[in-house]
Amino acid sequence: MKYRRIGSHPDTRREVSVLCLGAMLFGTRTDEQTSFAILDRYVEAGGTFVDTSNNYAYWLNGGQGGESESVLGRWRRSRGIGDEITIATKLGARPLAPGTGFVENREGLSADTIRAAAEESRERLGMERLDLLYAHIEDPETPLEETVEGFAALVAEGTVGLLGVSNHWAWKVERSRAVAAAAGLPGYEVLQYSHSYLRRRTDQPDALSPDGACGIVDGNLLSYVRAEPALAMVAYTPLLSGAYTREDKELTRDLDHAGTPVRLAALAEVVRETGATANQVVLSWLIGGEVPIVPLVGASSVAQLDESLAAVDLELTEEQRARLDGAY
């Protein structure tokens, strides 16, 4: 396994594995026994970075979420897991009532919500301090200052370590960080967005914004992370939910553009040359890029996880990387 640092302050920064394990479906679609086996294998391979959220996976059973955090809490207690494994969770997108969705009935990012939701996550996870806490989605009804101060209060109390942000417009991330810096408060240091080798269109409106998709890595975000060494980028859905390797998985409509076949052809060439799978080449491309990326991978079996773990040791040549980068 390889590792990299996230966070800048000595009291909260963490050394994490370059491959993050997503626990989104643990406790729902993936049963507890299988979830434990995947987690055990990940730790055995040197993995130290696990990701979840307080609303996972509400859409599978019509609830509000929390099953994933609860499974992770039981796994931590049964295995005696402590500070050596970094657990990241998120708040802000949990539905306020069963049977509703996070878009029309989300908990939001008010100071009171941040405090209450973080406490509930700590209880489910069995942690005195949340290692990394993300603002999951935007909350246009709450002033940025209130959200910044709400997160900072928990850091000051020692119940939260690093702060992160997901699915926000880049300008809102920067404005939030500027508000925090001006007040001498901790700000967001970890960004989590959807990112993969194939380039997704960001101009199509989605459920969160009529202006386009705000949860996808684009040039603005890459430039931002490149210019700010204190920021770390975590990439969710890097394998496009299996679409690189499974014929039954179709590419989403935001990948239906002229650049996709060109990049798929370049990817296929490197796959043939390396003997690796397309998934492994994509993960290696993300991990070793000029802008460091931590891919967040899900797994429903130990075998799926092993495929992703093998990507950590796959070294692309400079020529292969340049060919992949230059495909448009």
Per the domain annotation, does 60 fall within a domain?
yes
The domain that holds 187 is classified in CATH as: 3.20.20.100
Beta carbons of 173 and 135 less than 8 angstroms apart: no
> What is the per-residue pLDDT across 124-154, written as a single tens digit (0 to 9) for each?
999 999 999 999 999 999 999 999 999 999 9
Nearest-angstrom CA–CA distance, 166 and 169: 9
Domain housing 207: 3-255+286-317
Residue type, 73: G
At residue 269, the 3 state secondary structure works out as: helix
**Does any domain span residue 217?**
yes
266 inside domain:
no
User: Which residue type is seen at 156?
Assistant: A
pLDDT of 245 reads 95
Domain count, the chain: 1
Low-confidence ranges of the chain (pLDDT < 50): none
Q: Report yes or no on 268 lying in a domain.
A: no
CA distance linking residue 302 with residue 106, whole number of Å: 33
In a domain, 204, yes or no: yes
Contacts of 195 (CB under 8 A, 6+ apart): 216, 217, 233, 235, 236, 237, 238, 286, 293
Backbone φ and ψ for 275, nearest 5 degrees, come out as 75, 5
| Domain presence at residue 294 | yes
Residue carrying the six token digits 């859409």:
59
* pLDDT at residue number 152: 98
Instruction: Give the per-residue pLDDT at 206.
Output: 83
Instruction: Determine phi and psi for 228, rounding to 5 degrees.
Output: -120, 90
Q: Cα(217)–Cα(234) distance, rounded to whole angstroms?
A: 10
Radius of gyration of the chain from its Cα atoms, rounded to whole angstroms:
19
Element (H, E) at 183: none
Confidence (pTM): 0.97
